[in-house]
Amino acid sequence: MRTRVGIVGAGPAGLVLARLLERAGIDSVILESRSRAYVEGRVRAGVLEHGTAALLDEFGVGDRMRREGMVHRGIELRFDGAGHRIDLEKLTGRTITVYGQQEVVKDLIAARTQSGLPLHFDAEVTGVDGTTLRYVHEGVTRELQCDFVAGCDGSHGVTAASLPGGAVQRWERDYPFAWLGILARAPAANEELVYAYHERGFALHSMRTPEIVRLYLQVPPGTDPAAWPDGRIWDELRTRLGLALQAGPVLEKSVTPMRSVVTGPMRHGRVFLAGDAAHIVPPTGAKGLNLAVADVRVLAEALVAHYRDGSQQLLDAYSETCLKRVWQVQRFSNWMTSMLHRPGSQDAFGHRLQLAELAYVTGSDAAATTLAENYVGLRKEL
């Protein structure tokens, strides 16, 4: 087979890129190593920046999001036993939408399927040789010849691993804590997301629907989820959040390590990296999906310019353009993480500094605006 753009991975980055290219009349083929059921069932992020939600509307896959998603106009920071609301809409004129990443993926897959354009599940890419993708599908080894390759296959994907040695550099940071997360069938205890700093550690109250909550606790790296029975989790959440949580059946339980990774440049020849294939951010700032979408918007614009008038300028600038935003998002996510988590060896002085930081952020309009404009999503010109 031959296509203009071969896309490795059917996560948000790959699917959004394919949709943007489709609207510009540029053909593409998506190869995904997992099954459709697996891809649509992966529980991931649930916060869409203002611009991400607007883009889904713009290219015709936002109807269900607008029906079922929840528009939030603020978030709450809790510390010292009290809650402090950050009014996102008042401070920035923009909002966020709570809508699960897996739901975004379902909507994009449905649109791709309806268009009848190539999307192959259970198609494992085994090698990237320049712009040739070798993959196995239905037991047959095949090749896909491309003008360009978009590696949207995550942090452990084959695209980045196939680049020659020294082609890219990686900057990494591991954090001294992890998140124990649960998805539970229980009513939300607050109308908006709650980020809590507590002497026992960080906690987060979020939701996927009014009846499904997503809750997190700071735990040490390497924590075994089995060491946390459901009752213990609910008790600890109530303590740290200071909310009257109503317990319900736990649908999923997992521990996620906290780390930051940036790969640069995000391009080698005609192979481009996007989303988690190029960077990972700690989840505190709710930026993973949104940063992936920002990447492929830049890439799609560059590819459209190339096919429209032969211009290479935007393609050549792709990595530099994306990395400016990537590092800004890393800065914000690192700041949120550092402000809200208790290091295991923290002394009383450090504890007081964190409380002072939180008091300043919630007590100063200037500081609150800084948080708010990053949280709802940096504008394109930033």
Rounded to whole angstroms, how far apart are CA atoms 105 and 292?
A: 13
Which residues constitute the domain of residue 160?
2-72+95-172+259-343
Average pLDDT over residues 109-121: 97
pLDDT for res 64: 96
Q: Is 375 in the active site?
A: yes
Q: What is the pLDDT of residues 3-53, one digit of tens each?
A: 999 999 999 999 999 999 999 999 999 999 999 999 999 887 789 999 999
Q: Where are the alpha helices (DSSP H) in 7-93?
A: 12-23, 36-41, 50-58, 63-68, 88-92
> Considering the domain boundaries, does residue 78 fall inside one?
no
Is 195 a catalytic site residue? yes
Q: Residue with structure tokens 């401070």? A: 91
The answer to whether position 266 is within a domain reads: yes
Q: How far apart are CA 311 and CA 319, in angstroms?
A: 16
307 is catalytic: no
The CATH number of whichever domain residue 156 belongs to comes to 3.50.50.60
**Does the residue 231 lie in any domain?**
no
Among residues 12, 50, 72, 268, the one annotated as catalytic is: 72
Q: Which of 99, 135, 175, 195 is catalytic?
A: 195
Which residue in the list 175, 216, 318, 375 is annotated as catalytic? 375
23 belongs to a structural domain = yes
Please give the tally of structural domains in the chain: 1
Confirm whether 179 is domain-assigned. no
Catalytic member of 106, 197, 283, 341: 283
Catalytic residue among 198, 279, 287, 306: 287
242, part of any domain: no
Please report the pLDDT score of residue 381 as a whole number.
53
pTM of the entire structure? 0.95
Percent of the chain with pLDDT over 90: 94
**Residue 287 catalytic?**
yes
- pLDDT for 256 equals 92
Residue at 371 is within a domain = no
pLDDT in tens, 185-215: 999 999 999 999 999 999 999 999 889 999 9
Beta strands in the chain, from DSSP E residues, in sequence order: 2-8, 28-31, 47-48, 70-72, 74-79, 82-87, 96-98, 119-120, 123-129, 132-137, 140-151, 169-185, 194-196, 203-209, 212-219, 250-264, 267-268, 271-273, 279-280
**Which band of pLDDT confidence, cut at 50, 70 and 90, is reported for residue 344?**
confident
Residue 97 has pLDDT above 60, yes or no: yes
Per-residue pLDDT tens for 209-243?
A: 889 999 999 999 999 999 999 999 999 999 999 99
**Residue 129 counted as domain residue:** yes
Predicted pLDDT of residue 382: 55
Listed in sequence order, the residues at least 6 apart from 309 whose beta carbon sits closer than 8 Å to its beta carbon are none
